[in-house]
């Protein structure tokens, strides 16, 4: 059989521990036999990040800016224990943080649904994708414990030294206060990413904040989204037959629970943090969550939402059998291959990505799955180890 050809390479970011082991197996068993795979390879495994003083992470992000599509394996974010375990020169920063800073992107997370593992919310039939703004607000705040009676003020000093001052509260006793911010530039990037992602997956986009209470702060988010929609995206949305709408977060929460799913829900930083955990849990398992970072200029980096599955890796090193779920990592590959196929106009590559996803889901729906899913499955489940599960997918494929 002739292999499916590619034109532009994918940026391949290898990673750590159990997911690094799965990474190679996925390529060997599910991709390389069918695709004449072209990648520009970056080893983001912790050892090589340390050897290169983390330059490899920066290089991989710059390559993503150049080529437009990357696929990333989970990586260790070092803490004190990892510094010792790997004898690191220093406690390197989170690769995802470094990549996000360079691409200036928004992270979209969506669950992979299979029959036999029902969401806790009965009406949900299609995935709900959460788009979380990953800059500012309470995550970059200044907080203050108020020791006793006194006046709390908020003050902005412009470049000419002119002050604008407002009283927050005249305290009669102890309390707390905080200051936080966001920037128009970051909000606009977030909005561009959301509109572009909605167009790329052809799904409605919902955006919600608490603008009735936060009449200036949250209202600014609402206005920036509305202005960009009207001036830049409206006609493309209409042509794609999809909708953008803004609604108050209280209303959005009620609508989400009553919905059938199948849309993107854009949220401010804190709301996205909380709601993504709720949505992921209600859909089933972290091992079935995909994640894609989309830059405002339309670059895409695909990955699994979970980490390197350290506990399984230590068992693997002892020679024990592991049943680690490769599905989210497989879908990172299919997402990247499909996007590459779309950009390079390679329908065969897109069709291959579709088939691999179908084969993966069909395998689970036939009752063959890894241990994490077997405990959730409503039918008769056969628990397979990682290799057996990948072989079953390959047979279906
Ligand atoms: P984790 O790797 O997501 O694993 C937490 C637990 O969730 C596992 O021990 C396992 O539970 C279950 N799990 C997660 N993914 C699974 C899969 N594919 N198949 C089966 N079970 C799965 O999170 P962690 O243990 O907190 O973090 C481990 C390392 O990953 C850390 O060094 C962290 O820095 C890194 N990390 C990286 C990323 C990223 O690169 N995007 C994200 C998060 C964490 P059981 O052990 O009960 O089976
Ligand atoms: Mg959270």
Same domain membership, residue 56 and residue 163: no
Last residue of a domain, one of 179, 201, 226: 179
Question: Residue 170 sits in which domain range?
Answer: 142-179
pLDDT band, residue 109 (cuts 50/70/90): very high
| Under 8 Å between Cβ of 37 and 31 | yes
The reported pLDDT for the residue numbered 105 is 78
Residue 364 Cα to ligand 2 midpoint, Å, equals 28
Last residue of a domain, one of 230, 257, 283: 283
Last residue of a domain, one of 283, 306, 331: 283
pTM confidence score: 0.88
Residue with CA at minimum distance from ligand 1 atom 46: 311
pLDDT average, residue stretch 90-97:
91
Same domain membership, residue 98 and residue 134: no
Report if residue 113 sits inside a domain: no
Same domain membership, residue 164 and residue 99: no
The reported pLDDT for the residue numbered 287 is 87
Residue with CA at minimum distance from ligand 1 atom 7: 309
Report if residue 308 sits inside a domain: yes
The reported pLDDT for the residue numbered 209 is 98
Same domain membership, residue 151 and residue 258: no
Q: What span, in angstroms and rounded, lies between the C-alpha atoms of 20 and 39?
A: 16
Report if residue 354 sits inside a domain: yes
Same domain membership, residue 2 and residue 126: no
Closest atom, ligand 1, to C-alpha of 303: 41
The reported pLDDT for the residue numbered 286 is 80
Question: Which one is predicted more confidently, 264 or 282?
Answer: 264
Same domain membership, residue 357 and residue 259: no
Same domain membership, residue 87 and residue 158: no
Same domain membership, residue 351 and residue 234: no
Same domain membership, residue 241 and residue 190: yes
Same domain membership, residue 29 and residue 8: yes
Same domain membership, residue 154 and residue 133: no
Q: For ligand 1, say whether the CB of 285 is within 6 Å of any of its atoms.
A: no
pLDDT in tens, 113-157: 999 998 989 999 999 999 999 888 988 889 989 999 999 999 999
Same domain membership, residue 376 and residue 228: no
**What percent of the chain has a predicted confidence (pLDDT) above 90?**
86
The residues with which 70 forms a beta bridge, in sequence order, are 11, 301
Report if residue 112 sits inside a domain: no
The reported pLDDT for the residue numbered 298 is 86
Q: For ligand 1, say whether the CB of 310 is within 6 Å of any of its atoms.
A: yes
Residue 272 Cα to ligand 2 midpoint, Å, equals 8
pLDDT in tens, 54-63: 999 999 999 9
Report if residue 39 sits inside a domain: yes
Q: What span, in angstroms and rounded, lies between the C-alpha atoms of 270 and 277?
A: 11
Mean pLDDT (the chain) is 95
Smallest-distance ligand from the CA of 279: 2
Count of the separate structural domains present in the chain: 3
* φ/ψ bin of 173: left (φ > 0), alpha (ψ from -120 to 50), beta (otherwise): beta
Residue with CA at minimum distance from ligand 1 atom 42: 307
The reported pLDDT for the residue numbered 40 is 98
The structure tokens listed for 122 are 């009965």
Q: Ligand 1, from 22, 284, 307: best to mutate by most atoms within 8 Å of Cβ?
A: 307
Please report, for the domain that includes residue 211, its CATH number.
3.40.718.10
pLDDT average, residue stretch 339-344:
96
Q: With 90 as the cut, is the pLDDT of residue 283 above it?
A: no
């Amino acid at each position: 059989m002739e292999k499916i050809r590619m034109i532009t390479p994918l940026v391949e970011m290898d990673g750590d521990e159990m997911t690094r082991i799965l990474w190679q197996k996925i390529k060997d068993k599910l991709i390389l036999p069918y695709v004449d795979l072209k990648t520009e390879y970056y080893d983001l495994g912790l050892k090589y990040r340390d050897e290169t003083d983390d330059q490899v992470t920066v290089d991989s992000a710059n390559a993503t800016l150049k080529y437009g599509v990357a696929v990333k394996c989970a990586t260790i974010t070092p803490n004190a224990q990892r510094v010792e375990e790997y004898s690191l020169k220093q406690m390197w920063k989170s690769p995802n943080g470094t990549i996000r800073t360079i691409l200036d992107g928004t992270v979209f997370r969506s669950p992979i649904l299979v029959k036999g593992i029902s969401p806790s919310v009965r009406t949900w039939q299609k995935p709900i994708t959460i788009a979380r703004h990953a800059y500012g607000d309470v995550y970059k705040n200044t907080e203050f414990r108020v020791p006793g009676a006194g006046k709390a003020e908020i003050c902005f000093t412009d470049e000419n030294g002119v002050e604008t001052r407002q009283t927050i509260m005249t305290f009669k006793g102890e309390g707390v206060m905080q200051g936080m911010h966001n920037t128009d530039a970051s909000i606009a990037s977030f909005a561009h990413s959301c509109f572009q992602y909605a167009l790329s997956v052809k799904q409605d986009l919902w955006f919600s904040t608490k603008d009735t209470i936060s009449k200036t702060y949250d209202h600014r988010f609402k206005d920036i989204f509305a202005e960009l929609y009207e001036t830049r995206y409206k006609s493309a949305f209409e042509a794609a037959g999809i909708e953008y709408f803004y609604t108050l977060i209280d209303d959005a929460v009620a609508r989400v629970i009553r919905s059938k799913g199948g849309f993107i829900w854009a949220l401010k930083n804190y709301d996205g943090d909380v709601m993504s955990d709720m949505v992921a849990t209600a859909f089933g398992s972290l091992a079935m969550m995909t994640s894609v970072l989309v830059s405002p200029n339309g670059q895409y980096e695909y990955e699994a939402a979970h980490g390197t599955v350290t506990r399984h890796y230590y068992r693997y090193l002892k020679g024990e059998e592991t049943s680690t779920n490769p599905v989210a990592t497989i879908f990172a590959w299919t997402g990247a291959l499909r996007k590459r196929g779309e950009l390079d106009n390679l329908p065969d590559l897109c069709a291959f990505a579709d088939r691999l996803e179908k084969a993966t889901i069909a395998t689970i729906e036939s009752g063959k799955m890894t241990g994490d899913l077997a405990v959730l499955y409503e039918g008769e489940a056969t628990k397979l180890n990682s290799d057996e599960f990948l072989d079953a997918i390959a047979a279906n494929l």
